Amino acid sequence: MPTDDRYSRQVRFAPIGAKGQERLRAATVAVVGCGALGSACAEQLARAGVGTLRLIDRDVVESSNLQRQTLYTEADAADCLPKSIAAARRIRLINIEVACEPLVCELGAANAVDLLRSASLIIDGTDNFLARHLVNEACCQLGTPWIYGACVGAYGVSAAILPGTTACLRCIQPDLPTAGDMPTCDTAGIIAPAVHLVAAWQVAEALKILVGDLDAVRRELWSCDLWHGGFQKVNLTTARDPACPACGAGATRPLLAGGDDPVVVLCGRDAVQVRRGALDLAAAARLLAGRTTLANGHFVRWVDGNLTATAFADGRVLVQGAASPVAARAFCDRWLG
């Protein structure tokens, strides 16, 4: 299908035009987290003709995702496909002109800057504040714009962060929330309309930045409760903190500098994540022959008693049912050496 027909309605929109469309084609957008927000944004960006989408996600598709994560199907959940792989497959069916770079991995302190380095813009599709603040620090270091987005229940919040111009996430949230302090989709639930409201805001701001219409970018953090009503805004121009550790003149970027925790308890998921060195999946599958319940080229899953472990090539092992971080680590050492 010729490009001029495919994007004709969008090109006719004066702030984009033919020149803006060409800029979209030349752009690379990294989507960090391909859950509800990430997959909704990725689909809109693919349909808009963004040339390259880097899809970064650590999880696999589950049936509980299908209520709101619109890129995925029942077959993806049945096949336990990693979200980034499933998203790339679906996007190729939607728009063959888009180059997808699916990455089955977790963005952490050690790899954040490398993962985001060549992107024109970053979409926040993460589900936790540690990951968001890592994205924030990496983007402040790289000078790359990113679009914050979050939702839980019927509530949504978003902001375009322009390093050097607007306040960054750390300016307006100097203290990171402690894990377990904030409601999550697992604890408070979520409705799909809240996802699509936030995704619409994120993609609109992304399009403005990608086509170069920076004057149109909203310099504010907005939030909304779709169920009970109410809309709030915080000015991001006046909220800049010159002493901010992420974007200030003497920024130390403490999260990037601090490295990754080798063992993390995943709240609400009855699982512990153990981070090890990169894993040869084929070798691990041979090692675990007889105990392996699934080895699909993206991960190896095995069972021992009450524990189920899923090991990814990037070195992460999710241990479900582990009584403690120490028990999870011991389990990994026992089976993977």
Give 29 or 246: the residue with its C-beta nearer to Zn ion: 246
CB 106 within 8 A of CB 314: yes
DSSP-derived 3-state class of residue 212: coil
Q: Judged by CB under 5 A, which of 46, 100, 162, 247 binds Zn ion? A: 247
- What does the CA dihedral 8, 14, 16, 20 come to, rounded to 10 degrees? 90
Separation between Cα atoms, residue 129 and residue 133, nearest integer Å: 6
Work out whether 255 is an interface residue with Zn ion (CB under 5 A): no
Work out whether 168 is an interface residue with Zn ion (CB under 5 A): yes
Separation between Cα atoms, residue 212 and residue 203, nearest integer Å: 14
Stretch touching Zn ion by CB under 5 A, among 17-25, 86-94, 171-179, 311-319:
171-179
CB 117 within 8 A of CB 142: yes
Work out whether 170 is an interface residue with Zn ion (CB under 5 A): yes
Give 165 or 292: the residue with its C-beta nearer to Zn ion: 165
Question: How far apart are CB 301 and Zn ion at their closest, in Å?
Answer: 40
Indicate the residue whose CB is closest to Zn ion: 244
Question: How far apart are CB 247 and Zn ion at their closest, in Å?
Answer: 3
Work out whether 134 is an interface residue with Zn ion (CB under 5 A): no
Give 171 or 284: the residue with its C-beta nearer to Zn ion: 171
- Got the DSSP string for 78-89? HTT-BHHHHHHH
Work out whether 161 is an interface residue with Zn ion (CB under 5 A): no
Helices 36-48 and 83-94, packing angle to 10 deg: 30
Question: How far apart are CB 240 and Zn ion at their closest, in Å?
Answer: 7
Work out whether 71 is an interface residue with Zn ion (CB under 5 A): no
Stretch touching Zn ion by CB under 5 A, among 245-253, 255-263, 302-310, 320-328:
245-253
Q: Judged by CB under 5 A, which of 171, 198, 199, 264 binds Zn ion? A: 171
Give 147 or 171: the residue with its C-beta nearer to Zn ion: 171
Question: How far apart are CB 130 and Zn ion at their closest, in Å?
Answer: 16
Give 187 or 237: the residue with its C-beta nearer to Zn ion: 237
Site size with Zn ion, rule: CB under 5 A: 6
Which residues ranging from 196 to 225 are in contact with Zn ion (CB under 5 A)?
none
Work out whether 246 is an interface residue with Zn ion (CB under 5 A): yes
Question: How far apart are CB 124 and Zn ion at their closest, in Å?
Answer: 15
Cα three-residue angle 124-135-214, rounded to 5 degrees: 65
**Long-range CB pairs of 251-258, under 8 A, 24+ apart, other chains included:** 251/140, 251/141, 253/137, 253/140, 253/141, 254/137, 255/109, 255/130, 255/133, 255/134, 255/137, 256/109, 256/112, 256/113, 256/134, 256/137, 256/138, 256/141, 257/109, 258/109
Stretch touching Zn ion by CB under 5 A, among 38-46, 60-68, 161-169, 225-233:
161-169
Return residues touching Zn ion (CB under 5 A).
Answer: 168, 170-171, 244, 246-247
